[in-house]
Structures are given as C-alpha cells and as structure tokens.
Structure 1
Amino acid sequence: MNYLAFDLGASSGKLFLGGVDGGRLRLREVHRFENGPVALARHLYWDFFAIHRNLCEGIRIACAEAGGPIASLGIDSFSNDFCLIGRDGALLTPMRCYRDDRTARAREAIFQKCPPRRLYTLSGNQVALFNTAMQLAAMREENDRSLDSGATLLLLPDLLCALLTGDVSGEYTISSVTQLFDFAADTWHAELLKAFGIPAELLPPVCHPGSPRGVIRPETGLPAIPVVTVCEHDTASAFLAAPLTGDAAIISSGTWSLVGTETPAPVITEYGFAHNVANEGGLPGHHRLLRNVMGSWLLQELRAEYAGEGVTLSFGGLAELGAAEPPFSFLIDVDDECFFSPGDVRRKIRSRGRGAVPPERPGQFVRCICESLALKYRYSIEVLEELCGRPLREIHIVGGGSKDSFLCQLTADACGRSVHAGPADASAVGNLLVQLMAAGELESVEAGRALIRASFPIQTFAPRRGEWDAVYRCYCEHFHLK
C-alpha cells in the first residue's frame, strides 16, 4: 500500500510517498519547497497560500508516481501558529509567524492576567512568548475583534486538513503545546481560556492520532484520498521515529532542537517550572518531556547573512569550516532572547558571547554555535534526568541535524554519551508510522521502531576525551545555568 506524509518545517516543506515492502520501510520524497517567515509592515507572517498550493501540487505528483492507490494522507508541521476561520470556512485572519514581536509588546499585560508559575502549573507547557496562548492574549490586548466574531481557531495542520476534507477539529499532540490544554481533562483548559479572555467556542473539538479525518473533497480537484490524523506536531512525529533501545534522550534537530525523553504521563513540578521544561502530548505511553533549544536557526541565520553579502555557504561547507577552527575560543547561550528574532546574528553573537577570541571568520562563528549547542544539550539532558529521576545513558538525534556529523560528534563529546543519529526525515517517518498503525499494517510503536532500525542507516558517534567537563563548568557559571 502507498501512503502520503506531508511534513512542513519552518524552512521547507516536503511530501513523501511511503509504505512497507519486504520488511523495510519505503520513503521517497516526491515534492519539496522552501518555506520561511515573510516580513510585511513590521510584522512576520507565513505564506499559507503557498503552503496549501504546494501541498496540493505534491499530492498530484505523488498520485502520478505512485503506481497504485493511495491508502491515506497524514499532515504534520511546526506548532502554535493558526488562522481563524468563519462559519463558511473562509479565512478571517492571516497566519502570523510565532517569531512576530506582538507577544513581546504585550508580555507584561499577559502575565498580569496569568502569572508564569500559574500558567505552567495549569498547562505543563514551557513559558514562552511564541505559544498560541500568548498570541491570542496579545490579540486580546490589542482589541482584535476577530476573537469575538464566532470564528474557529485552527492550527496550521488542522487548517490544511479542514480545507481538504471539511473536518473542523484540532489534533491532540499539537493542541497540547498551545499552553491552553488541560492534560487531566483531555480538552481545552477552562481557567486559562477565562484568564486570557478567549471564548471557549473559538477552540475546535480535539481528536487523537489514528482517527479518520474524512476524504479529500471533489471540489479540491484532487483524488478522493482518506486523510488520517497523525501526530500533527512535527516533534511528536519525530520522537516516534527515534529507534530507542532503552532509557535515552532524544534530540529532534532542525530549526529548533527539541531535547527530551519519553514518559508515561506529564511531570509538572516546581523544578520543571524553574527550568522551563515542557510537557507535550504523544501517543499513549509516549508523552514528551523536553526543553526547547534554539537549534540550527542560528546556522540558517548565519548562512542568510553571508548570502546577503554574496557569499554562498552550504550546511556541509559550514561544518567543514567549523571543524577546521580551534575549540572553545568563544561561546554563547544559544537561547539568549536576542537570537529569537531574525537578523544581525554575527553582531549578536559577538556582543552576547564569552571568550578570548570573538569570531570573525565564518568557521569561527560555526564552531562557536555548534560547541554552544552541544553544551546546552548537555545542560538540558541533566535537567531532564533530575526531573524524571532516571539516567539517560544514550542520545538519539533525529531530523535534519542528524546529518551534521560535526555537531553529532561535538554532542557526544560534550555530553559524554554515545550519539545515534538518524533517520533524517524523522517527522515524515513518524507520520507514516501512525498511518500504518491506523491501517493495521503495524501493531505498535515498538514494532515501528524495529522497522526503522531495519530500514535506515543509524550512525553512532562515541564520546572522545577532552576538556569538555571543565569547559562545561565554566559555561554554566558564565551563563548562570546552575
């Protein structure tokens, strides 16, 4: 059988054709397009119309190349961003990018309505300005009347599903990271909605991964393919694709690096609040406990800045340049708020970092970013070990960052743990696993992970001795992490 997995990231979107053949998972990219924030009148948006157009184009290409019927389609994407739709299904608002600064402007007013500690206790989510709750609260502070228009809020993948099938609902894993979800009640949190002045009718009913979302409607001009609810949050899908062998840390490495582990249920404590640890939904038994780390966003920004000066650098070329530079010359806290907004990344690094030799050459910037990421990974893993009360003896890196051998080796060295890297298209693989389970071709996540190990090369990086322990102690002291 053939299945389609649409995976949308902050820098690109991809549609894959997949299935199981001869005891191995088959996955082939059939369509790819660039994605990114669009600046307009001092605000940041997503070009949702281009995203939708590329999804439809990818479906047409896949159907032409499949050589047989398509069993189902699943959609996953990054989280938190949304449109409001009217009763007739029309879009009432554009889709703002989570990096837009409207939430920063309203920060103090928002936290007066619900202080950060209370917000964390109720939602279990990290306290972060990019969350859906913060965006809606900022809209309320700006007296945006669209919140009271009888509209329905749909997060990005739910909106794509609605346009294809007419089904208006919200998927569990991506709903769980909005900072508006009640894990205990398995629905939207009444106290948080009231605190921020968000009408309860704005939020759709919640469905769980594996449930049907209907069939693509004829008026779309596309074949009548069933749409299946997958783990729509791309990190939830990526975590499913980590071929675990026991207690382990998982790093879903892309524009963001999500450093986490799986737990049976949420873990919401004062320690978790103090270290801003996020609780995020997954399939039953695969709840995610994690910390957001800035990820390859900094490398993307570096490439873009050099490109603006006429210097073209590939990610592979950046890694080679970084590997050629001496270690530990300059370090940054990759999660410094100054790095959240786009632009001027080299100046920010030089002004906010610590070290004897501020970077000047591209390779020096790369070395600084990658060593700093590896050290922040170690810090995040130690926080997770303390919170969940068990050691995380190995690390699985999945997603696009698993192809960065330089960063993978630095991570092994900094953390003193073996790193297992792959698969690279982890979100699409996890998306496909849920569709296979819904169709009865897989009996469990564990069976799916065994299939992944048999289907994709997993590269292992052993930790090397060095100065990392001493550097880590200084890093934590300099950036007040302990």
Structure 2
Amino acid sequence: MQHNNFLAFDLGASSGRAILGTLEQGKLKLTEVHRFDNQMQYINGHFFWNIFSLFNELKTGLKKCIQEFGVQPDSIGVDTWGVDFVHLNKEGMIISLPFAYRDSRTDTSMDELFAKIPKEEVYEQTGIQFMQFNSLFQLFSMIQDQSSLLEITDKILFMPDALNYLFSGEAVAEYTIASTSQMVVPGEMKWQTGLIEKAGIPTSILANLVKPGTQIGKIKPDVAQETGSTEVPVIAVAGHDTASAIASVPADDKNYAYISSGTWSLMGIESEKPLVSSKTLEMNYTNEGGVEGTTRFLKNIMGMWLIQECRRAWLDMKNYTWDEMVKLASGSEPFKYLINPDDSCFLNPKKMPEAIIEYCAKTGQGKPENHAQIIRCVYDSLALKYRFTLEQILSVSEELIEKIHIIGGGANNRFLNQLTADATKLKVVAGPTEATATGNILLQAKAMGALQSLAEMRTVVKHSFEVEEFTPGSDLDWDAAYQRYTSLK
C-alpha cells in the first residue's frame, strides 16, 4: 500500500501549525491546514504551557485535514521546542500544566547543582550546553524545593512525547528531544543514570528511549471518533523541532554549517560523533541527538526572540510588520550600537527595547534613540554573533565549512541573510522556510516506508523547494565591527 499523505504538528513557543505533506514522484507539497497561537500562561507567579489546549488544537488540525481538505493522513507526528515536560501519575493522568522554560524557578539551580556535582563532570557526561532551563535543572529545582508534584510523578514526558501520548496512549521518550534534557549519554540512546541519581532525581520517572522515526502506536479509538480519523500510526519523529529542521537541510555534502532561524537561532554542524572536551565546555556548546545516529553540535543563540519582543513592546505605539522593521533597520547607521544577544538580561525582560538600551548604555555605547537604531543593533549583533559562533566551531571541528544553510522562518529575512554572508564571508543558502514541518513529514514518510534514508529525504527537499543564495560583498568594515563586538563585556 502506498503512503503519501503525512500530517505534521509543528509547535513553537509562540504558535503552532498542522501541515499536510503530500509526497508524489519524489517531490513534497506542503499545505497548511491549521494555525494557532501558543503562549505561556502566567499563573500564581509561574509560567506554564496549556498542554490540554494545545492537544485540542492538534485534534482540530487533524479534523480540518480530513473534513475541510478531504485528506485522511497516513500517519501523524509531533515536534516542539526542547527541555519542557509533563508529569504523569501512576494512573497515567497528566497531573499539572507543564512549567515553561522561561520560568524563574530555575534561576539558581545551576549553581546549586554544581555545588553538588562539578560543572566539568556534568558536561563530560552529557555534552550539553549549560542553560538554566535544561530539564536536569528544572527537575533538580523541584528536588531542592521538595516538590509535592514530583512525589506523585510516575513518569515525565517531554512535550512532543506528551502529545503523542494523548493521541496514542503510548508513553516513550524520543531520543532527539530527550537529548536536550542534559540527562542523556552523548551520542547514545542511554539515560545518564549515574548523574541523574547523583542529582537526587529518581530514574524511575524516565520513559524508554526510542529512535526518531519510530512508530509508537496508533491513534486511540476515542480520538479517532472525535476527529473523524481512522486509527493511523503515530510516529515519534525527531521530536525536537531543531532536529526535524536539520533533517531537511538541502545539502548533498557535509561542508556546511546550519542556522535554524526562528525564536532561537540554532547554529552548528552535523557531526558523526559528539565533540566533548574542555574547550567545548569552555565555549558552552551542545551535543544533541540527530537523525540516523548523527550529533547536532551547536550553539543556542537568542535569535528572532529579540525582534519579536521589541515588536510586542511597541504594539501600543505602532503595529509593525516584519518588512517595516527590516526597512527601518536598513536605513539606519550600521554598527552604531552592538549587543551580545545571549546576555542573560535578554532572556525574558519585561520590555526588550529597554533591556537593549540599558545594555548599550552599560557598555559605554550611549543609548539608541529610536526604533530603527534598536532594530539595526539587533540585526548587526546577530550577524556578528554568527561569525563568532562559526569561528568557535572551526576551532574544535575538523569539518570544512564552505557555506551556511539558513533554514526555518528566519530564512525569509533577506536583510539578515545578507548581513550573515557579509559578516562570515561565506555564501549563505536560505531555505526551506518550513524546514521543521518538512523534516517532520519526511521522517514520517521514512517510518512508513515511502523513503529509505536521510540522504533520500534531503534529495526530496532539494527537488521540492526553491532556495536563495547570498554572496558576501559589503563595503562595510565588518572586521572592525567584529573587534568591537568581541570586546563587549
């Protein structure tokens, strides 16, 4: 039986989509069937995700696919952001809204854990970039707080695993999403149980790890009845959105770096093995699980979040389109103000523009005086951060990097793409923009036997989507700007 219709649920921190992928004669056609908002909920002093509302939106997407678009998908798959998780009790019920990674309860967790287990030991055993919201620190904070929620937890499931569970009733931990937790052996399908136990976290709450592209079960009868669907397979795709996105990089060689550009910019290389050393620890790089045994050696960079939050802060004064913001930036003086996008002050400030102004003043640059200067500051700084990250990757990897593939929604930003080419002095290939949904769909196709390998998946991407190339060529003194950028304290 031929399988060629696959429904991807792709959830980000601000919105989610249901995308139908139709695979015919080696080409993939995408159709958006449903789009919905996703926002953190602030309740009793903490930030949460509404898992039940999200599941309803996914069911709506499935229902619309069948009723409005007339297509019964052959399978479904879910990808989301990393690290966050739900709690199941022993009866299999979700017993709390999952905390959101920007919640402040982990503000001191890293230092508290390092007082118990040396930082070097944690990194050596996990190879994961230290970020205060990693699942390890979220769980450790609950141990420190003697959380009653943890006492009644039988299993934790990461966000895509939890949504797969609500569809299928099967509780598993997909490898790529689990690897973001800082609790998995680098490059292996194994929980790092010794470290987890040393942190005081019960290993019994961890589900069994499965490879990306595993059929974990079928849609439950009650969900099938509610949506009008048949009981089709539920595929554990590369559940981490970045892993799905990187599976759709349209490359036929290995001589490239990628930037998965969205709320976060994930910049790195696809490596055959984890790169874990004192130098990668010092640089704070991550080794996350990829498709077909690869490792995503990368850096999490605060990406379009900076622009998204500026736009949100200015809504009362002006509802900018993204194009209007780019136009303002392109007409503003380059390099007048620079920031380190990854400074902790930009993680979740009350007002992003004020945080940027304050940073510029604190670093002796004066204060940006208008919206155009703030936007230009962000774009210049991101391009310079990409150059900095590229140089760090080259310092620890033997890979030859000849170009940068930019995938995801940020690939639409032609202005930033050109700045990136100019800053890094490398050719930039932009597209596909729907990289995450594409990778999700093609992994379903592979799981259902319609495709055989990652290489074949990438061939489909190359034949299905237009890309745009940006060649470095700027009159601006990027080297001087880079020196200024690297001197920021």
CA-CA distance at 1:430 after TM superposition: 0.4
Q: 1:313 aligns with which of 320, 324, 327?
A: 320
Q: Which among 401, 417, 420 is matched to residue 411 of structure 1?
A: 420
Matches of 2:185 and 2:246 in 1, distance apart? 22
Matched to 1:336, the amino acid is D
> Could you say if the C-alpha distance between residues 405 and 14 of structure 1 is closer, same or farther in structure 2, counting changes exceeding 3 Å?
same
Task: Assess if the C-alpha contact under 8 Å between 2:340 and 2:488 holds in 1.
Answer: no
Answer yes or no: is 1:151 the counterpart of 2:154: yes
From 287, 291, 299, the equivalent of 1:283 is 291
* Whole-Å separation in 2 of the counterparts to 1:266 and 1:277: 11
Residue among 48, 52, 56 paired with 2:55: 52
Q: In structure 2, what residue type is equivalent to 1:384?
A: I
Aligned to 1:437: 446
Q: Assess if the C-alpha contact under 8 Å between 1:213 and 1:228 holds in 2.
A: yes
Q: Which residue of 2 aligns with 1:113?
A: 116
- Equivalent residues in 2 for 1:87-102, closer than 5 Å: 87-102=90-105
Q: Secondary structure at the match of 1:139?
A: helix
C-alpha contact 2:339 2:488 (8 A) present in aligned 1:
no
Q: CA deviation at 1:288?
A: 0.6
Number of the residue aligned with 1:395? 404
Indicate whether 1:70 and 2:59 are aligned.
Answer: no
Residues of 1 paired with 2:187 and 2:420: CA distance?
Answer: 35
Give the unaligned 5+ runs of structure 1: none
**1:272 and 2:272 matched:** no
- Check whether the contact 2:260–2:266 (CA below 8 A) recurs between aligned residues: yes
| Residue of structure 2 equivalent to 1:35 | 38
Give 3-state SS (helix, strand or coil) of 1:36's partner: coil
Instruction: Give the letter for the 1:324 counterpart.
Output: G
Q: Distance in 1 between matches of 2:454 and 2:443?
A: 8
Of residues 51-60 and 65-74 in structure 1, the stretch that sits farther from structure 2 once superposed is 65-74
Q: 1:239 is aligned with what amino acid?
A: I
Alignment of 1:370 onto 2:373: no
Q: Give the secondary-structure state (helix, strand or coil) at the position aligned to 2:103.
A: coil
Give the superposition deviation at 1:185.
Answer: 5.3
For residues 322 and 71 of structure 2, the distance between their equivalents in structure 1, rounded to whole angstroms, comes to 36
CA–CA separation in structure 1 for the residues paired with 2:439 and 2:298:
18
Give the Cα–Cα distance (whole angstroms) in 2 for the partners of residues 113 and 322 of structure 1: 47
How many Å separate the matches in 1 of 2:107 and 2:340?
20
1:258 aligns with 2:266: yes
SS where residue 32 of structure 2 aligns? strand
CA gap 1:185/1:425 in 2 versus in 1, 3 angstroms: closer
Counterpart AA for 1:165 = S
Partners of 1:155 and 1:184 in 2: CA distance: 19
One-letter amino acid of the structure 1 residue matched with residue 358 of structure 2: S
Does the Cα contact within 8 Å between 1:242 and 1:449 map onto a contact in 2? yes
Could you say which residue in structure 1 is the equivalent of 2:391?
Answer: 382
2:50 partner letter: D
Check the 8 A contact 2:249/2:405 in 1, yes or no.
Answer: yes
Amino acid at match of 2:265: S
Q: Which of 402, 416, 431 is the equivalent residue of 1:422?
A: 431
Contact 1:44 1:97 in 2 (8 A): yes
Listed as ranges, the matches of 1:199-278 within 5 Å are 199-220=202-223, 221-222=226-227, 223=229, 224-246=231-253, 247-278=255-286
- Assess if the C-alpha contact under 8 Å between 1:329 and 1:355 holds in 2: no
Following superposition, the deviation at residue 105 of structure 1 comes to 3.5
- The equivalent of 1:448 in structure 2 is 457
Unpaired runs of at least 5, structure 2: none
- Deviation for aligned residue 1:285: 4.4
The aligned counterpart of 1:293 is 301
Of the structure 1 ranges 60-69 and 354-363, higher mean CA displacement relative to structure 2 is found in: 354-363
Distance in 2, matches of 1:260 and 1:301, equals 25
Q: How far off its partner does 1:451 sit? A: 1.4
Residues 74-89 of structure 1 mapped to structure 2, 5 A cutoff: 74-89=77-92
What is the aligned partner in structure 2 of residue 475 from structure 1? 485
- Separation of aligned partners in 2, 1:188 and 1:380: 29
**8 A Cα contact 1:395 1:417, kept in partner:** yes
**Identical pairs, percent:** 37
1:22 CA displacement: 3.6
Instruction: Between 214-223 and 171-180, report the one with greater CA deviation.
Output: 214-223
CA shift for structure 1 position 93 = 2.1
Question: SS where residue 478 of structure 1 aligns?
Answer: coil
CA distance in 2, matches of 1:218, 1:88: 19
Give me the CA root mean square deviation. Answer: 1.4
Q: Deviations over 1:199-247 (max 9, x none)?
A: 1110001111121111111122232221111100000000111112431
CA contact (8 A) 1:150 1:201 kept: no
Structure 2 distance, partners of 1:211, 1:79, is 19
Q: Secondary structure at the match of 1:93?
A: coil
Give the drift of 1:49.
1.9
Q: How far 1:66 moved relative to its partner?
A: 4.4
Structure 2-normalised TM-score?
Answer: 0.95
Aligned length: 478
User: Offset at 1:117?
Assistant: 1.5
Residues 210 and 435, structure 1, Cα contact 8 Å, conserved in 2: yes
Q: Deviations over 1:92-139 (max 9, x none)?
A: 222111011111133432221222221111101001101000100001
CA distance in 1, matches of 2:367, 2:410: 25
CA shift digits 1:252-296 (9 cap, x unpaired): 000000001101111111110000010000112431100010000
Q: CA deviation at 1:356?
A: 4.7
Q: Assess if the C-alpha contact under 8 Å between 2:109 and 2:138 holds in 1.
A: no
Q: Is the 8 A contact 2:428 2:469 kept in 1?
A: yes
List structure 1 segments (4+ residues) > 3 angstroms apart after TM superposition: 65-69, 354-357
Give per-residue Cα distances to partners, 1:375-414, cap 9 Å, x unaligned.
0011111111111123311000000100011111111111
Q: Distance in 2 between matches of 1:347 and 1:85?
A: 40
Following the alignment from structure 1 to structure 2, what is the Cα–Cα distance between the partners of residues 380 and 189? 28
In the alignment, what sits opposite 2:357?
Answer: 350
CA distance in 2, matches of 1:171, 1:439: 17
The SS at the match of 2:20 is strand
Between the aligned partners of 1:328 and 1:210, the Cα distance in structure 2 is 45
SS where residue 334 of structure 1 aligns? coil
**Distance in structure 1 (CA, Å) of the matches to 2:324 and 2:349:** 22
How many angstroms apart in 2 are the aligned matches of 1:390 and 1:156? 33
Greater shift in the superposed pair: 342-351 or 134-143 = 342-351
Do 1:147 and 1:199's aligned partners in 2 also have CA atoms closer than 8 Å?
A: no
- Deviation at residue 355 of structure 1 after TM alignment: 6.6
